[in-house]
Structure 1
């Protein structure tokens, strides 16, 4: 055995020595050098010819793809509605062709360098390394793709099942939202939000199931990126999660709905959007306010629309009138001002409450419900109500003033009994008492 090994080693050494002697002889041979230079020149000419041909083919394919894309996008247009943007499709087609063209150019240059290096004895080793690297790279990529196919198929099946479940959830929650499906545990108003949450859970579960089957999921690089992403989320998403939690509480507690007129802290307006992270209000001055859900959840909220039977809101007017004005007259004038305002409901009827008896005057509050006859902000409606109340008070000669005294008045600020039912106040019907 040792003798055979020695003979094999001797034979290999002799072969290598003979190859080196032959390479040295060729490198010193003028004919060999001239032949190598000629072959390299021919290869260069062929390279430029191929590059020119590839460029011509690329331009021809681009023109053909542009014509086909324009024809197809024009066919997809219906009633001047563009379903697919033509410029985007043309850009995508041209980018795809250019990408393949550049890949082919790189391959041609790589092979040209390898061929030229192979013509000279001193650079033949480099040529062999280049070919070996290219073939090894292609073989490695091909092997990785083949090994990843079963896992990718498994992951695709999992994602396909998740998509199927997602479509089932879409149909179910859409039926709940439109009222076609009746369930006791879900309100139609929160069906859309519940659908999004359910689909997010389904896809997160599907990703967790498919993760081990994804190519490269077991590599250290993939694990490092996963840890980095998890660390970034845990450090930077605490406020985000708090906002989302507040949004869910507001949604499922049904504190308010879109279109309702509310007061949140010092802000007042109509709810235009109730999102997971923020709530938007449209004020009477046309300003859009964006409030974080955590701020909304922590503030005192007044809802002026919840108790109104329709798309309206509650109107409140506070006025302070002196004690020398009959309270029955003030009640009647405030109610008359509400009746003159278009859109104020007669059922339930406007009501006036005496909220306090201050030192110099009582405080009256008119409360009524209104459904606008047209799309008007609450502030415009309230302005019209104020104007009508002023007209009524002016008609009956009553000043809307709050007296303040520095000393006792000469005459007591009382209303004689004979003036208790000063118009527009009406004396109660004895038959009804």
Structure 2
């Protein structure tokens, strides 16, 4: 057989599954069903002492026996005896249906088939059914004759052949339908794979990606395979009763399955019709929820306008929308809960308790982080892109979520910090001044010099060094603070403004380099005064490039007690 290139051939596992389904179906038809059907035709149908016990032929109830014969047989035993005799007569082709007649002998009234007595109609039967015994005998005779005619008609060779032909045709049609279904499913799966490879399956809602192409491909493929399985099961559910109803032996079972299908459909329709008011109520709640959410978003957007309310900041709009949407949906779910199917049932309550226990036991830290995340949003501690210092961690904020915050430090290390930890730490934001007031961030560093160096000269050198540093602002001008007068040295703090706080490590490095260069050019040694007090005879600490060509180290000075 030549295969179409557009449809890949079935894999070994798929072929095995197909043949396994066919094998189980065949065994069910050939072995299990006839045995079950035979048991159905030979066992009594359920009855009781009030409604009577049915007399059944070929799965159809003819009449019911409500009265037994005292001292001889109960009503149930009497019904079983009559049914067995009718079955014997129905299988005896020498007894014509017309031979079944009612016969009266004295006070006894019999229903006979030829010379065989089927059953006796007693006086109690007439009392129970409120009819004369003669009328009961005539009605029973007509029912039995018609049932035997139909029983034998269905078992004729031509009807059996017709049923077999219909069963074969139906089986072939089912196999062809399965093959067609497999081709359709294979084609759909191929299209899903092609769309996934082209990255054309992502699901977006208002420019927000909900699911990527890989996730959507997995989801759609699962739905297609699940739909295939559902169609196969539904086809078998319809196929089996139809095939079983073509043969007299299995017809009761087929009729029973069809009856079960009809009952289930009826129950489904009835349940759906009863649930329609609740469904309508849920729909109204959902519609009102959508309108309330949209109205809340409009109000929040209006609050966030730059010229509307100075106490509501624009960066609060998106998180407030999410928080309000969550609260509105939660309230809607609570209101709609009583109208959901199964609400209040033990199963629903059990699932609710189970989920509540899991949430209580396993989400304490998650709730703490979520609450901390909300607090951090509304305290405006930092925004995406801000350069911050949180405890010992310093870097740029690259992600803010409900539970964690991610920071990338100057070494390009991404650090994930729980929001609860951030809320309990000091947060220094180096970018907020530049962003909100357009002022520069003050960078500062301290050097210590001895009292022998003129402070005005130090100020001049430090300011020149800061001015020569890249990313240091010319205005406002750098300035120097003398922060302390120590025992052996003075602390000079150079302060300079920058509008690039995210480059702090680079700026500090350049500033320190320039301070070294400019101090060396001015002949200022940056070293401890304790070293200079014992430096007689030692070489200067400044690089040779900054020393005069005729520089020679000083000699050691030695003096006696009398000053010589």
State whether structure 2 residue 66 is matched by structure 1 residue 9: yes
The count of residues paired between Structure 1 and Structure 2 equals 399
Kept in 1, the 8 Å contact 2:293–2:325? The answer is: yes
For 1:8-55, what per-residue CA distance to the aligned partner results, in whole angstroms no more than 9, with x for missing partners?
614996776544444466679999497787466435412322223424
Q: Which residue of 1 aligns with 2:230?
A: 103
Mapped to 2, the partners of 1:297 and 1:107 lie a distance apart of 58
State whether structure 2 residue 107 is matched by structure 1 residue 50: no
State whether structure 2 residue 430 is matched by structure 1 residue 304: yes
Q: Cα distance 1:385–1:33, how it changes in 2: closer, same or farther (>3 A)?
A: farther
SS of 2:356's equivalent?
A: helix
Mapped to 2, the partners of 1:8 and 1:224 lie a distance apart of 48
SS of 2:416's equivalent?
A: strand
The aligned runs of 1:95-174 (5 Å cut-off) are 99-115=226-242, 117=244, 126-174=253-301
Q: Which residue of 2 aligns with 1:229?
A: 355
The aligned runs of 1:277-296 (5 Å cut-off) are 277-296=403-422
Higher-Rg member (1/2): 2
Q: Cα distance 1:28–1:322, how it changes in 2: closer, same or farther (>3 A)?
A: farther
Mapped to 2, the partners of 1:4 and 1:284 lie a distance apart of 90
Mapped to 2, the partners of 1:85 and 1:241 lie a distance apart of 28
The aligned runs of 1:352-363 (5 Å cut-off) are 352-363=480-491
Kept in 1, the 8 Å contact 2:433–2:439? The answer is: no
Q: Cα distance 1:20–1:338, how it changes in 2: closer, same or farther (>3 A)?
A: farther
SS of 2:66's equivalent?
A: helix
State whether structure 2 residue 326 is matched by structure 1 residue 203: no
Shift in Å, 1:247: 1.8
Kept in 2, the 8 Å contact 1:263–1:269? The answer is: yes
SS of 2:344's equivalent?
A: coil
The aligned runs of 1:30-429 (5 Å cut-off) are 32=155, 38=161, 41-55=164-178, 57-58=180-181, 99-115=226-242, 117=244, 126-179=253-306, 182-308=308-434, 309-310=437-438, 313-372=441-500, 377-404=503-530
Which deviates further from its counterpart, 100-109 or 149-158? 100-109
Kept in 2, the 8 Å contact 1:243–1:277? The answer is: yes
Mapped to 1, the partners of 2:313 and 2:51 lie a distance apart of 88
Mapped to 2, the partners of 1:248 and 1:94 lie a distance apart of 38
Q: Which residue of 1 aligns with 2:97?
A: none
Mapped to 1, the partners of 2:417 and 2:331 lie a distance apart of 32
Shift in Å, 1:169: 2.4
Mapped to 1, the partners of 2:528 and 2:535 lie a distance apart of 18
Q: Cα distance 1:103–1:27, how it changes in 2: closer, same or farther (>3 A)?
A: farther
Mapped to 1, the partners of 2:213 and 2:431 lie a distance apart of 47
For 1:208-263, what per-residue CA distance to the aligned partner results, in whole angstroms no more than 9, with x for missing partners?
11111112223221221111111111111111111122222222222233333221
Kept in 2, the 8 Å contact 1:27–1:33? The answer is: no
Which deviates further from its counterpart, 101-110 or 257-266? 101-110
Q: Cα distance 1:212–1:24, how it changes in 2: closer, same or farther (>3 A)?
A: farther
Which deviates further from its counterpart, 46-55 or 26-35? 26-35
Kept in 1, the 8 Å contact 2:178–2:232? The answer is: no
Mapped to 1, the partners of 2:241 and 2:80 lie a distance apart of 22
TM-score, normalised relative to structure 1:
0.75
Kept in 2, the 8 Å contact 1:305–1:314? The answer is: no
Kept in 1, the 8 Å contact 2:390–2:427? The answer is: yes
Mapped to 2, the partners of 1:4 and 1:163 lie a distance apart of 57
Kept in 2, the 8 Å contact 1:243–1:294? The answer is: yes
Mapped to 1, the partners of 2:86 and 2:412 lie a distance apart of 92
SS of 2:433's equivalent?
A: coil
Mapped to 1, the partners of 2:259 and 2:80 lie a distance apart of 20
Shift in Å, 1:126: 4.4
Mapped to 1, the partners of 2:521 and 2:91 lie a distance apart of 121
Task: Considering fraction of residues, name the structure with more helix.
Answer: 1
Shift in Å, 1:203: 0.8
Query: RMSD of the alignment, in Å?
Result: 4.4
TM-score, normalised relative to structure 2:
0.59
The gaps in structure 1 that reach 5 residues or longer are 412-433
Shift in Å, 1:156: 1.7
Kept in 2, the 8 Å contact 1:352–1:367? The answer is: yes
For 1:181-219, what per-residue CA distance to the aligned partner results, in whole angstroms no more than 9, with x for missing partners?
612542223222222111111111111111111122232
For 1:83-119, what per-residue CA distance to the aligned partner results, in whole angstroms no more than 9, with x for missing partners?
9999998988877666555434323423444355556
Mapped to 2, the partners of 1:235 and 1:28 lie a distance apart of 75
Q: Cα distance 1:387–1:53, how it changes in 2: closer, same or farther (>3 A)?
A: same
Mapped to 1, the partners of 2:396 and 2:304 lie a distance apart of 22
For 1:343-400, what per-residue CA distance to the aligned partner results, in whole angstroms no more than 9, with x for missing partners?
322433323223344444333322222014xx96322222222222222122212233
